[in-house]
Amino acid sequence: MNKPLLQLSDVTKSFGGIKALSGLCCEVRQGQIVGVIGPNGAGKTTLFNVITGAYRANSGEVFLDRQPITHWRPYRIARAGAVRTFQNIRLFSSMTVWEHLLVAQPGQGAWWRRALPTNWADGAAVARAEEVLEFFGLQEVRHQSARSLSYGTQRKVEMARALTASPRMLLLDEPVAGMNHDEAEDIRRLMLRLRDGGLTILLIEHDMGFVMNLCDYLYVLDFGVLIAKGLPGEIQADPIVMDAYLGKEA
């Protein structure tokens, strides 16, 4: 079995008197697609925020490849390999698709290369951006303002931006929310290709068909508490999960 890339040990995050995450322990193994599911307000996005450093855990530890990252600043965690997308798309309003793919390669290449025109001095960054652009099939829209694109394409641009950073782990917050079946299927295929290429993916998603067809392992949260974990088939049959989230068939 692959070694764990991400580990959370007894992580708690509170906002005032409300515990958004309560003593959470979980791990994500390398090369797996792991899903986090649960009802709204279960603490899924808070979990992403704690992992990526946007929020600091009140207690407990987060490890990325055995390194404690609990108190690291977000940019350092991203550079260490955990890069995310957002529940509400957060693209840079002044940038084209192509610019999004260049900007998300911080810390890669000498500073003087980064200070000179990309096309002259930064061949590696251009090559990486070109590779990701092609992977997501975004060549047609490369010079368009990212914010002017359709919702589904904007989601793809956000994923592409995260991927150009060459992460070891991609954290996707509702990657197919608002997409039609064909677009979601397209994203599913891309994610499987990424996993087959060795990338680890942690995702939050409400589309159960999508999650069950894609994920290797699942965690279920409810009110900040881990109520179940296991293979998709096990989760679907778990009475606690059915009661708290999935519901029972009539």
Q: Which of residues 208-237 bind other proteins (CB under 8 A)?
A: none
For the four alpha carbons of 83, 86, 92 and 98, in that order, the dihedral sign comes to positive
Stretch that binds other proteins, among 13-21, 52-60, 223-231, 234-242 (CB under 8 A): 52-60
Stretch that binds other proteins, among 18-26, 56-64, 96-104, 239-247 (CB under 8 A): 96-104
Output the six-digit token pair for 158. 């956000």
174 secondary structure, DSSP code: S
Rule CB under 8 A: say whether 154 interacts with other proteins.
no
Rule CB under 8 A: say whether 122 interacts with other proteins.
yes
Q: Specify the residue, 163 or 228, whose C-beta has the smaller distance to other proteins.
A: 163
Map residues 156-185 to x or -, x wherever contact with other proteins holds by CB under 8 A: -----xx--x--------------------
**Using N-to-C axis directions, what is the helix angle for 123-135 and 151-164, rounded to 10°?**
140
Rule CB under 8 A: say whether 103 interacts with other proteins.
yes
β-strands 82-84, 67-68 pairing: unpaired
Alpha helical stretches, state H, 21-106: 44-51, 74-80, 97-103
Single residue of 63, 92, 135, 223 touching other proteins by CB under 8 A: 92
For the four alpha carbons of 7, 234, 240 and 42, in that order, the dihedral sign comes to positive
Rule CB under 8 A: say whether 149 interacts with other proteins.
no
Q: Are 122 and 109 in contact (CB under 8 A)?
A: yes
Q: How far apart are CA 137 and CA 183, in angstroms?
A: 12
CB atoms within 10 A of CB 178: 12
Q: How far apart are CA 17 and CA 202, in angstroms?
A: 28
Rule CB under 8 A: say whether 99 interacts with other proteins.
yes
Rule CB under 8 A: say whether 64 interacts with other proteins.
no
Bridge partner residues of 36 (DSSP): 204, 219
Q: Specify the residue, 199 or 220, whose C-beta has the smaller distance to other proteins.
A: 199
> Which 3 state secondary structure label does DSSP give 180?
coil
Q: How far apart are CA 11 and CA 19, in angstroms?
A: 11
Rule CB under 8 A: say whether 111 interacts with other proteins.
yes
Rule CB under 8 A: say whether 125 interacts with other proteins.
yes
Stretch that binds other proteins, among 10-18, 93-101, 198-206, 233-241 (CB under 8 A): 93-101
Closest approach, Cβ 181 to other proteins, in A, equals 28
Closest approach, Cβ 46 to other proteins, in A, equals 14
In the complex, which residues of this chain contact other proteins (CB under 8 A)? 52-54, 73-75, 78-79, 83-84, 86, 90, 92-95, 98-99, 102-107, 109, 111, 113-119, 121-122, 125-126, 130, 142-143, 161-162, 165
